Structure 1
């Protein structure tokens, strides 16, 4: 096995039972929901125990510096960004790594 990739938007949608594109449910769709963050933390921990790499793709680490910090503190191996979010994401990761 080469590793795992967490799709944070899909995981959030699954964990919360909320369609991210639904205006009716948009207020409960949050990458900061404690259940979502715990699932991400658990996934990273399990991957580390198994000795495989784990990454995340999603918008939150580029939009929220504190989310990037959370991922760095959990030990994420890689984070993918959309081209329009790349520079913000890199800056957030660099700041998070300085604080860890």
Structure 2
């Protein structure tokens, strides 16, 4: 299951949320994903999310549930979030727990082997990877026509990620709009 990945504007839209969330110019690149989970200001909320996962795995016996961590910006952040999950009682490898990383930032592909030291595989997020590789906002009507997962730079990043996971014998999958729309994704 993918851990929560609301952006600050999405949390702010919840009842009372504006009291707790920072106002950001570009929430897509802001306080989200792994960076939020390891932040002191979000620690109690993340503990609740971890408690829910433990209940599903331990109390309900659904040990096939794996954790997917979104938007991991740096290798240090990768280590920090896996360590925090362990502190919360969700230790990688314990009781068969696998922790998968969303590979959706160009740095994830460029340093794929280093990120994979901390995770059991990748789920490649083609939407964010494309938007960040091409430096555009896919929701902007001004530049949205440039959004194309088949761009050579995007395909190179996808290939790097896939090769790194295969080299280490780890899981790799792809999600997002790209594989739904284009049968030639992911690249070989």
TM-score surpassing 0.5?
A: yes
Rounded Cα–Cα distance in structure 1 between residues aligned with 2:172 and 2:155: 15
Per-residue Cα deviation, 1:39-61 (whole angstroms, up to 9, x for no partner): 00111001111221111111122
Matches of 2:182 and 2:170 in 1, distance apart?
A: 26
Which residue number in structure 1 is paired with residue 127 of structure 2? Answer: 9
Give the aligned partner of residue 147 of structure 2: 29
Deviations 1:1-57 (A, max 9, x none): 321111100000110000110011112111011000010011100111122111111
Structure showing the higher helix proportion among its residues: 1
CA–CA separation in structure 2 for the residues paired with 1:41 and 1:64? 15
Report SS of the residue matched to 2:184: helix
Gaps of 5+ in 2: 1-118
Matches within 5 A, 1:1-100: 1-67=119-185, 71=186, 74=188
| TM-score calculated relative to the size of structure 2 | 0.35
Take 1:32 and 1:17, find their aligned partners in 2: how far apart are those partners? 15
Secondary structure of 2:141's aligned partner: coil
Query: If you compute each CA radius of gyration, which structure gives the higher value, 1 or 2?
Result: 2
> CA RMSD for the aligned pairs?
1.4
Question: How big is the shift at 1:63?
Answer: 1.8
Give every structure 1 segment of 4 or more consecutive aligned residues whose post-TM-superposition deviation is greater than 2 Å: 64-67
